[in-house]
Protein backbone atom coordinates (compact mmCIF):
# COMPACT_ATOMS: atom_id res chain seq x y z
CA UNK A 1 0.00 0.00 0.00
CA UNK A 2 1.44 3.44 -0.90
CA UNK A 3 2.00 5.72 2.03
CA UNK A 4 -0.34 8.69 2.36
CA UNK A 5 1.43 11.99 2.87
CA UNK A 6 0.43 13.88 5.99
CA UNK A 7 -0.23 17.56 5.31
CA UNK A 8 -0.18 20.05 8.14
CA UNK A 9 -2.70 22.72 9.07
CA UNK A 10 -1.84 26.11 7.64
CA UNK A 11 0.01 28.19 10.22
CA UNK A 12 1.89 30.83 8.26
CA UNK A 13 4.17 33.32 10.01
CA UNK A 14 2.80 36.76 10.78
CA UNK A 15 4.01 39.33 8.26
CA UNK A 16 3.80 43.10 8.12
CA UNK A 17 3.07 43.65 4.42
CA UNK A 18 4.80 46.85 3.36
CA UNK A 19 5.62 45.95 -0.22
CA UNK A 20 3.93 46.87 -3.51
CA UNK A 21 0.98 44.55 -2.76
CA UNK A 22 -0.82 42.74 -1.39
CA UNK A 23 -1.49 45.01 1.55
CA UNK A 24 -2.66 44.06 5.02
CA UNK A 25 -6.30 42.98 5.18
CA UNK A 26 -8.61 44.32 7.89
CA UNK A 27 -10.07 41.63 10.22
CA UNK A 28 -13.56 42.59 9.06
CA UNK A 29 -12.60 41.66 5.50
CA UNK A 30 -11.26 38.29 6.63
CA UNK A 31 -14.48 37.65 8.54
CA UNK A 32 -16.53 38.54 5.48
CA UNK A 33 -14.67 35.87 3.50
CA UNK A 34 -15.95 33.25 5.94
CA UNK A 35 -19.56 34.03 5.02
CA UNK A 36 -21.28 30.83 3.80
CA UNK A 37 -21.48 30.47 0.03
CA UNK A 38 -24.64 30.95 -1.98
CA UNK A 39 -25.34 30.42 -5.66
CA UNK A 40 -24.14 32.89 -8.25
CA UNK A 41 -27.74 33.86 -9.08
CA UNK A 42 -29.04 33.75 -5.52
CA UNK A 43 -30.95 37.00 -4.82
CA UNK A 44 -28.77 37.66 -1.77
CA UNK A 45 -25.60 37.35 -3.86
CA UNK A 46 -27.00 39.59 -6.59
CA UNK A 47 -27.72 42.19 -3.88
CA UNK A 48 -24.05 42.00 -2.82
CA UNK A 49 -23.02 42.57 -6.44
CA UNK A 50 -25.28 45.63 -6.64
CA UNK A 51 -23.88 47.06 -3.41
CA UNK A 52 -20.31 46.39 -4.56
CA UNK A 53 -21.06 48.20 -7.81
CA UNK A 54 -22.38 51.24 -5.93
CA UNK A 55 -19.31 51.29 -3.69
CA UNK A 56 -16.99 50.99 -6.68
CA UNK A 57 -18.61 54.04 -8.27
CA UNK A 58 -17.93 55.87 -5.02
CA UNK A 59 -14.21 55.04 -4.97
CA UNK A 60 -13.77 55.64 -8.72
CA UNK A 61 -15.68 58.93 -8.24
CA UNK A 62 -17.86 58.20 -11.25
CA UNK A 63 -21.46 57.78 -12.34
CA UNK A 64 -20.58 55.28 -15.08
CA UNK A 65 -23.24 52.54 -15.35
CA UNK A 66 -20.62 50.10 -16.69
CA UNK A 67 -18.69 49.67 -13.45
CA UNK A 68 -17.97 46.18 -12.13
CA UNK A 69 -15.36 43.85 -10.65
CA UNK A 70 -13.81 41.35 -13.05
CA UNK A 71 -12.64 37.97 -11.75
CA UNK A 72 -8.85 38.08 -11.88
CA UNK A 73 -5.97 40.22 -10.67
CA UNK A 74 -5.06 43.71 -11.83
CA UNK A 75 -3.50 42.27 -14.97
CA UNK A 76 -6.95 40.96 -15.94
CA UNK A 77 -8.17 44.53 -15.63
CA UNK A 78 -5.35 45.67 -17.90
CA UNK A 79 -6.23 43.06 -20.53
CA UNK A 80 -9.92 43.93 -20.36
CA UNK A 81 -9.18 47.65 -20.68
CA UNK A 82 -7.17 47.02 -23.85
CA UNK A 83 -8.79 43.99 -25.51
CA UNK A 84 -12.33 45.37 -25.34
CA UNK A 85 -11.42 48.55 -27.19
CA UNK A 86 -8.72 47.40 -29.61
CA UNK A 87 -9.43 45.70 -32.92
CA UNK A 88 -6.70 44.36 -35.17
CA UNK A 89 -4.71 47.17 -36.77
CA UNK A 90 -6.06 49.93 -34.53
CA UNK A 91 -3.47 52.66 -33.85
CA UNK A 92 -2.67 52.74 -30.14
CA UNK A 93 -0.34 54.99 -28.15
CA UNK A 94 1.17 53.59 -24.93
CA UNK A 95 2.93 55.84 -22.41
CA UNK A 96 5.84 53.96 -20.82
CA UNK A 97 7.60 55.16 -17.66
CA UNK A 98 8.09 51.86 -15.89
CA UNK A 99 7.51 48.11 -15.83
CA UNK A 100 3.73 48.20 -16.11
CA UNK A 101 3.76 50.58 -19.05
CA UNK A 102 5.92 47.94 -20.74
CA UNK A 103 3.28 45.33 -19.90
CA UNK A 104 0.64 47.46 -21.61
CA UNK A 105 2.78 47.50 -24.76
CA UNK A 106 3.03 43.70 -24.68
CA UNK A 107 -0.73 43.25 -24.21
CA UNK A 108 -1.63 45.76 -26.93
CA UNK A 109 0.72 43.96 -29.33
CA UNK A 110 -0.96 40.64 -28.54
CA UNK A 111 -4.28 42.30 -29.37
CA UNK A 112 -2.70 42.99 -32.80
CA UNK A 113 -2.85 46.75 -32.39
CA UNK A 114 -0.57 49.05 -34.35
CA UNK A 115 1.37 50.10 -31.27
CA UNK A 116 3.40 53.24 -30.88
CA UNK A 117 5.02 54.15 -27.57
CA UNK A 118 6.40 57.24 -25.89
CA UNK A 119 8.88 56.89 -23.04
CA UNK A 120 10.10 58.70 -19.96
CA UNK A 121 13.05 57.55 -17.85
CA UNK A 122 12.01 55.38 -14.90
CA UNK A 123 11.21 57.72 -12.03
CA UNK A 124 9.99 60.54 -14.29
CA UNK A 125 6.55 61.33 -15.69
CA UNK A 126 5.15 61.52 -19.19
CA UNK A 127 4.52 65.13 -20.28
CA UNK A 128 1.50 66.57 -22.03
CA UNK A 129 3.87 67.80 -24.73
CA UNK A 130 5.05 64.26 -25.47
CA UNK A 131 1.48 63.01 -25.83
CA UNK A 132 0.40 65.98 -27.96
CA UNK A 133 3.41 65.64 -30.25
CA UNK A 134 2.86 61.92 -30.72
CA UNK A 135 -0.83 62.38 -31.52
CA UNK A 136 -0.09 65.27 -33.89
CA UNK A 137 2.28 62.97 -35.78
CA UNK A 138 -0.11 60.01 -35.79
CA UNK A 139 -3.67 59.89 -34.43
CA UNK A 140 -4.60 56.98 -32.17
CA UNK A 141 -7.82 55.27 -31.23
CA UNK A 142 -6.65 54.77 -27.67
CA UNK A 143 -3.99 56.19 -25.35
CA UNK A 144 -2.98 54.17 -22.29
CA UNK A 145 -1.02 55.36 -19.27
CA UNK A 146 -0.22 54.20 -15.73
CA UNK A 147 -1.29 56.58 -12.96
CA UNK A 148 0.59 55.00 -10.04
CA UNK A 149 3.56 53.14 -11.52
CA UNK A 150 4.29 50.33 -9.07
CA UNK A 151 7.83 49.82 -10.34
CA UNK A 152 8.96 53.40 -9.71
CA UNK A 153 6.55 55.11 -7.32
CA UNK A 154 5.60 57.96 -9.64
CA UNK A 155 2.17 59.59 -9.52
CA UNK A 156 1.48 60.54 -13.12
CA UNK A 157 -0.45 63.83 -13.60
CA UNK A 158 -3.56 63.13 -15.67
CA UNK A 159 -5.74 66.21 -16.14
CA UNK A 160 -3.73 67.85 -18.92
CA UNK A 161 -3.08 64.57 -20.69
CA UNK A 162 -6.79 63.74 -20.68
CA UNK A 163 -7.52 67.07 -22.36
CA UNK A 164 -4.88 66.39 -25.03
CA UNK A 165 -6.16 62.86 -25.67
CA UNK A 166 -9.76 63.96 -26.05
CA UNK A 167 -8.82 66.91 -28.24
CA UNK A 168 -7.30 64.37 -30.62
CA UNK A 169 -10.41 62.18 -30.53
CA UNK A 170 -8.86 59.25 -28.65
CA UNK A 171 -9.94 57.21 -25.65
CA UNK A 172 -7.92 57.41 -22.43
CA UNK A 173 -7.13 54.20 -20.52
CA UNK A 174 -5.65 54.64 -17.02
CA UNK A 175 -4.08 52.00 -14.78
CA UNK A 176 -4.78 52.79 -11.12
CA UNK A 177 -3.80 49.42 -9.66
CA UNK A 178 -1.39 50.99 -7.15
CA UNK A 179 -3.29 54.19 -6.47
CA UNK A 180 -7.10 53.83 -6.38
CA UNK A 181 -8.31 54.12 -2.80
CA UNK A 182 -5.10 55.73 -1.58
CA UNK A 183 -4.80 58.68 -3.96
CA UNK A 184 -7.69 60.63 -5.46
CA UNK A 185 -8.61 59.48 -8.97
CA UNK A 186 -11.77 61.44 -9.90
CA UNK A 187 -12.63 59.53 -13.06
CA UNK A 188 -15.50 61.76 -14.22
CA UNK A 189 -13.77 65.03 -13.38
CA UNK A 190 -10.58 64.07 -15.24
CA UNK A 191 -12.44 62.51 -18.14
CA UNK A 192 -10.93 59.02 -17.96
CA UNK A 193 -12.67 56.73 -20.44
CA UNK A 194 -11.51 53.36 -19.08
CA UNK A 195 -10.05 52.95 -15.60
CA UNK A 196 -9.13 49.75 -13.78
CA UNK A 197 -7.49 48.66 -10.55
CA UNK A 198 -6.79 45.60 -8.38
CA UNK A 199 -8.47 44.53 -5.17
CA UNK A 200 -5.27 43.88 -3.20
CA UNK A 201 -3.51 47.23 -2.92
CA UNK A 202 -5.03 50.46 -1.60
CA UNK A 203 -8.46 48.81 -1.34
CA UNK A 204 -6.96 46.17 1.01
CA UNK A 205 -8.92 43.14 -0.10
CA UNK A 206 -7.16 39.91 -1.07
CA UNK A 207 -5.90 39.62 -4.66
CA UNK A 208 -8.33 38.17 -7.15
CA UNK A 209 -10.68 40.88 -8.44
CA UNK A 210 -10.08 43.69 -10.93
CA UNK A 211 -12.57 46.57 -10.62
CA UNK A 212 -13.07 48.51 -13.86
CA UNK A 213 -15.21 51.45 -14.93
CA UNK A 214 -16.05 52.46 -18.51
CA UNK A 215 -17.32 55.87 -19.55
CA UNK A 216 -19.90 56.73 -22.24
CA UNK A 217 -17.36 57.45 -25.02
CA UNK A 218 -15.72 54.09 -24.44
CA UNK A 219 -19.10 52.33 -24.25
CA UNK A 220 -19.94 53.79 -27.66
CA UNK A 221 -16.61 52.52 -29.03
CA UNK A 222 -17.31 49.07 -27.60
CA UNK A 223 -20.74 49.02 -29.26
CA UNK A 224 -19.20 50.08 -32.58
CA UNK A 225 -16.77 47.14 -32.79
CA UNK A 226 -16.91 45.19 -36.04
CA UNK A 227 -15.23 42.10 -34.58
CA UNK A 228 -15.73 40.15 -31.38
CA UNK A 229 -13.59 40.92 -28.32
CA UNK A 230 -10.48 38.70 -28.40
CA UNK A 231 -11.10 37.37 -24.89
CA UNK A 232 -14.39 35.62 -24.13
CA UNK A 233 -13.82 35.67 -20.36
CA UNK A 234 -13.00 39.39 -20.20
CA UNK A 235 -15.55 40.50 -22.80
CA UNK A 236 -17.32 43.41 -21.12
CA UNK A 237 -20.38 43.04 -23.33
CA UNK A 238 -20.88 39.63 -21.70
CA UNK A 239 -19.75 40.56 -18.20
CA UNK A 240 -22.11 43.54 -18.21
CA UNK A 241 -25.14 41.27 -18.75
CA UNK A 242 -24.29 39.38 -15.56
CA UNK A 243 -23.93 42.60 -13.57
CA UNK A 244 -26.97 44.47 -14.91
CA UNK A 245 -30.68 43.70 -14.62
CA UNK A 246 -30.52 40.94 -17.28
CA UNK A 247 -28.49 38.66 -14.94
CA UNK A 248 -27.35 36.47 -17.84
CA UNK A 249 -25.06 33.69 -16.60
CA UNK A 250 -21.45 34.25 -17.62
CA UNK A 251 -19.24 32.66 -14.95
CA UNK A 252 -19.55 31.30 -11.44
CA UNK A 253 -19.17 34.41 -9.32
CA UNK A 254 -16.25 34.27 -6.86
CA UNK A 255 -18.53 34.76 -3.88
CA UNK A 256 -15.93 34.83 -1.09
CA UNK A 257 -13.87 37.40 -2.95
CA UNK A 258 -16.96 39.51 -3.63
CA UNK A 259 -17.85 39.44 0.06
CA UNK A 260 -14.29 40.56 0.85
CA UNK A 261 -14.29 43.39 -1.69
CA UNK A 262 -17.66 44.65 -0.53
CA UNK A 263 -16.45 44.81 3.07
CA UNK A 264 -13.17 46.48 2.06
CA UNK A 265 -15.10 49.10 0.12
CA UNK A 266 -17.47 49.56 3.06
CA UNK A 267 -14.42 50.41 5.18
CA UNK A 268 -13.40 52.99 2.57
CA UNK A 269 -16.86 54.53 2.71
CA UNK A 270 -16.86 54.64 6.51
CA UNK A 271 -13.49 56.39 6.59
CA UNK A 272 -14.44 58.76 3.78
CA UNK A 273 -12.42 59.36 0.64
CA UNK A 274 -10.99 62.71 1.74
CA UNK A 275 -9.87 61.35 5.12
CA UNK A 276 -8.41 58.28 3.46
CA UNK A 277 -6.38 60.31 0.97
CA UNK A 278 -5.16 62.59 3.76
CA UNK A 279 -4.10 59.56 5.82
CA UNK A 280 -2.05 58.16 2.95
CA UNK A 281 -0.41 61.55 2.37
CA UNK A 282 0.36 62.06 6.08
CA UNK A 283 1.77 58.60 6.72
CA UNK A 284 3.86 58.64 3.55
CA UNK A 285 5.43 61.94 4.63
CA UNK A 286 6.34 60.29 7.93
CA UNK A 287 8.12 57.55 5.99
CA UNK A 288 9.94 59.97 3.69
CA UNK A 289 11.13 62.10 6.59
CA UNK A 290 12.32 59.01 8.45
CA UNK A 291 14.23 57.71 5.43
CA UNK A 292 15.85 61.09 4.77
CA UNK A 293 16.84 61.39 8.45
CA UNK A 294 18.79 58.15 7.95
CA UNK A 295 20.59 59.50 4.90
CA UNK A 296 18.52 57.49 2.42
CA UNK A 297 17.33 59.07 -0.81
CA UNK A 298 14.30 58.39 -2.99
CA UNK A 299 14.04 57.95 -6.74
CA UNK A 300 11.07 60.22 -7.39
CA UNK A 301 11.05 63.97 -6.64
CA UNK A 302 8.46 65.01 -4.02
CA UNK A 303 6.07 66.65 -6.48
CA UNK A 304 5.57 63.38 -8.39
CA UNK A 305 5.92 60.93 -5.51
CA UNK A 306 3.14 58.36 -5.07
CA UNK A 307 1.84 58.29 -1.50
CA UNK A 308 1.12 54.56 -1.64
CA UNK A 309 4.49 53.36 -3.02
CA UNK A 310 8.01 54.68 -2.36
CA UNK A 311 11.22 53.68 -4.13
CA UNK A 312 14.21 54.21 -1.82
CA UNK A 313 17.85 53.84 -2.85
CA UNK A 314 19.75 51.03 -1.15
CA UNK A 315 22.89 52.34 0.63
CA UNK A 316 26.02 52.07 -1.49
CA UNK A 317 27.76 48.74 -1.10
CA UNK A 318 24.85 47.15 0.79
CA UNK A 319 23.47 43.72 -0.03
CA UNK A 320 19.99 44.68 -1.22
CA UNK A 321 18.44 41.21 -1.17
CA UNK A 322 20.28 40.17 1.98
CA UNK A 323 19.06 43.16 4.00
CA UNK A 324 15.54 42.67 2.72
CA UNK A 325 15.74 39.01 3.70
CA UNK A 326 16.81 39.95 7.23
CA UNK A 327 13.90 42.37 7.57
CA UNK A 328 11.56 39.49 6.76
CA UNK A 329 13.28 36.73 8.75
CA UNK A 330 14.13 38.72 11.89
CA UNK A 331 11.31 41.27 12.08
CA UNK A 332 8.53 39.93 9.87
CA UNK A 333 8.61 43.08 7.73
CA UNK A 334 8.00 42.46 4.04
CA UNK A 335 9.23 45.04 1.52
CA UNK A 336 10.17 44.43 -2.11
CA UNK A 337 13.15 44.84 -4.35
CA UNK A 338 12.97 46.88 -7.51
CA UNK A 339 12.21 45.70 -11.04
CA UNK A 340 13.91 46.13 -14.39
CA UNK A 341 16.61 48.75 -14.62
CA UNK A 342 16.26 49.59 -10.92
CA UNK A 343 16.76 46.01 -9.72
CA UNK A 344 19.39 45.64 -6.99
CA UNK A 345 19.61 49.41 -6.40
CA UNK A 346 16.25 50.30 -4.87
CA UNK A 347 13.69 48.98 -2.41
CA UNK A 348 9.95 49.42 -2.90
CA UNK A 349 7.97 50.27 0.24
CA UNK A 350 4.19 50.21 0.07
CA UNK A 351 1.86 52.11 2.37
CA UNK A 352 -1.43 50.92 0.98
CA UNK A 353 -4.88 50.82 2.54
CA UNK A 354 -4.85 48.99 5.87
CA UNK A 355 -1.02 48.86 5.79
CA UNK A 356 -0.82 52.65 5.73
CA UNK A 357 -0.54 53.39 9.45
CA UNK A 358 2.05 55.39 11.40
CA UNK A 359 2.87 52.48 13.72
CA UNK A 360 3.88 50.43 10.67
CA UNK A 361 6.28 53.16 9.55
CA UNK A 362 7.84 53.27 13.03
CA UNK A 363 8.24 49.48 12.99
CA UNK A 364 9.85 49.51 9.56
CA UNK A 365 12.27 52.31 10.40
CA UNK A 366 13.29 50.64 13.65
CA UNK A 367 13.89 47.31 11.91
CA UNK A 368 15.79 49.06 9.13
CA UNK A 369 18.07 50.72 11.71
CA UNK A 370 18.91 47.28 13.12
CA UNK A 371 19.71 45.57 9.82
CA UNK A 372 21.72 48.53 8.48
CA UNK A 373 23.77 48.56 11.70
CA UNK A 374 24.78 44.98 10.99
Please answer whether residues 303 and 154 qualify as being in contact, where contact means their C-beta atoms are separated by less than 8 angstroms: no
Q: Closest by alpha carbon to 207, among 173, 236, 178?
A: 178
C-alpha to C-alpha distance for 226 and 278, rounded to whole angstroms: 45
Please answer whether residues 216 and 223 qualify as being in contact, where contact means their C-beta atoms are separated by less than 8 angstroms: no
In the predicted structure, residue 10 carries a pLDDT above the cut 60: yes
pLDDT tens string 172-227? 999 999 999 999 999 999 999 999 999 999 999 999 999 999 999 999 999 999 99
Q: What is the structure's pLDDT at 7?
A: 87
Cite the beta strand spans of 147-245 per DSSP E: 148-149, 154-155, 171-175, 194-196, 209-214
- For the segment 137-165, the average pLDDT, to the nearest whole number, is 98
Residue 2: pLDDT band by 50, 70, 90 thresholds? Answer: low
Percent of the chain with pLDDT over 90: 97
Q: Which CATH number fits domain 28-269: 3.40.640.10, 3.50.50.60, 3.40.50.300, 3.40.50.2300?
A: 3.40.640.10
Mean pLDDT for all residues in the chain: 97
What is the residue extent of each domain of the chain?
16-21+273-372, 28-269
Q: Please name the fold of domain 16-21+273-372.
A: 3.90.1150
Residue 311: pLDDT band by 50, 70, 90 thresholds? Answer: very high
Cite the beta strand spans of 241-352 per DSSP E: 309-313, 333-334, 336-337, 346-350
C-alpha to C-alpha distance for 261 and 48, rounded to whole angstroms: 10
pLDDT tens string 76-85? 999 999 999 9
**In Å, what is the CA distance from 108 to each residue of 8, 14, 58, 130, 136?**
44, 39, 29, 20, 21
pLDDT tens string 96-127? 999 999 999 999 999 999 999 999 999 999 99
pLDDT tens string 323-351? 999 999 999 999 999 999 899 999 999 99
Amino acid sequence: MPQTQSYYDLDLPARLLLGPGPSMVHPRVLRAMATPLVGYLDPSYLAVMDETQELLRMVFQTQNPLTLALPGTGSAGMEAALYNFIEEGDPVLICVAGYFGERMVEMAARARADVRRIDAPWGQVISERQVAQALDERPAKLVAIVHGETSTGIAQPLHGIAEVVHRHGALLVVDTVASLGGVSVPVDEIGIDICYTGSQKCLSAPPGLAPITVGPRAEAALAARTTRVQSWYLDLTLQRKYWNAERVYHHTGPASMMFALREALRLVAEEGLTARFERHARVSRLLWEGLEARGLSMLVPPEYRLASLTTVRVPAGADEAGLRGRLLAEYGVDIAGALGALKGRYWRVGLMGHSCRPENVVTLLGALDRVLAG
